[in-house]
Amino acid sequence: MKKGFVVSFTCLTLLGVGWHANSITASTPDEIVIKQREQNSKAWLNWSGSTYLTAGQWCNVIGDNNLFKADVNVTNNGGNPGSIKVQILNNKGEIKGKPQTIKPGKTVTFAEIPANSGTFVVQAKAETSGTYTLKVTSR
């Protein structure tokens, strides 16, 4: 009987400690807001890959449906054959912002795309036709 009592007491003590630890780590409203901001600062779109770009012709690189407001960053890899010109189209085919030239090894941030504004497409064209490695992120 003593062993059963000791084991039961130990289990209850551990359960109590576990419950107490959970109550200590419970999030306050301020902590929840901070965690949400940390999650919002992570990239929503994170794509890196190679694509063939034709000189003087717009090519679709990637599209995304933005549920959240986002800035789109496009990086032209340092080993690429040349500069590229990049633009962003909305779901109506309208150019959002001004097309920008990106030199090899550089990144350009495009202005914020409003939340729930539909699908957007990142397009690029090259000065020299070839295979380009690009990185596209949004946050």
pLDDT in tens, 38-75: 444 445 789 999 999 999 999 999 988 877 788 899 99
What is each CA distance from 14 to 3, 7, 11, 26, 124, in whole angstroms?
16, 11, 5, 18, 60
- Give the pLDDT confidence of 23-42 residue by residue, as tens digits: 444 445 444 444 444 444 44
Half-sphere exposure of 49 (CA within 13 A, CB side): 9
Binned at pLDDT 50, 70 and 90, residue 16 comes out as very low
Q: Which of 87, 132, 123, 130 is nearest to 105 (CA)?
A: 132
Rounded Cα gap, residues 1 and 135, in angstroms: 68
